[in-house]
Amino acid sequence: MDLLLADLVKQATNIIKSPFWLEFFSVLKILAFISSIILIIGIIILIIKSQAVSERLEDISFFLRPKRSLKNRFTKQWQKVRNLLSEEGESHWKLAVIEADKIFDNLIKEIGYAGENADERLNNIKEFQLTAIDQLKQAHQVRNDIVKNTEMHITKEEAENIILVYESALKDLGGLD
């Protein structure tokens, strides 16, 4: 029985070592290697295009963005908003709200939030990045109402509250001191 088993193993070894099977296994190894490379490249492409990865990179890059250089750029513009708010007259207060919104939009554009307009960029901000996001969306809606409805009225107190929301958001994102 041991002899029969030894003969079978010897014959199987001889068959596998034959030139046909050696060439067959060599080609099979090459095909397996090429298939593996193609699959790995496909997986990498899928990961890069995945929305989850791009959101994670956006979340991480939020904390790595330089903030100090932005402060100087927006402080002078913000002073214009403050000056408009201190003026008497509803048109000045409305303009202050519009300018504050424009400054905020420029900041989030510069930081790198995606979107074709302010509404889209605002919707791309996560709550952990800006805690008062709901108030900011309301302030932006008031700005939109001012622009679309010339008959809309706003008090100085309402304008001041909206400006405070924008100012807080600008400070949180590093646009103001």
Q: Which domain holds residue 21?
A: 2-49
Q: Are 118 and 175 within 8 A, CB to CB?
A: no
How many alpha carbons fall within 13 Å on the CB side of residue 155? 3
Q: Are residues 118 and 34 in the same domain?
A: no
78 lies in the same domain as 19: no
Look at residue 55 and tell me if it is in a domain: no
Give SS3 for 113: coil
Spell out the per-residue pLDDT of the chain, length 177, in tens: 667 878 888 888 877 788 887 888 888 899 999 999 999 998 888 887 776 666 666 666 555 554 555 666 788 888 888 988 888 988 899 899 999 999 888 888 887 888 888 888 888 887 777 778 889 889 989 999 988 988 889 888 998 999 999 888 888 877 777
Based on the structure, what is the number of domains in the chain? Answer: 2
60 part of a folded domain = no
Q: Which two tokens stand for residue 73?
A: 């750029």
Tokens of 87: 């003026």
Residue 64's pLDDT is 53
Q: How many residues are listed for the chain in this entry?
A: 177
Which DSSP letter does residue 174 get?
Answer: T
- Name the 3-class secondary structure at 125: coil
d(Cα 141, Cα 15) in Å, to the nearest integer?
A: 79
Q: Kindly state whether residue 112 falls inside one of the protein's structural domains.
A: yes
pTM: 0.60
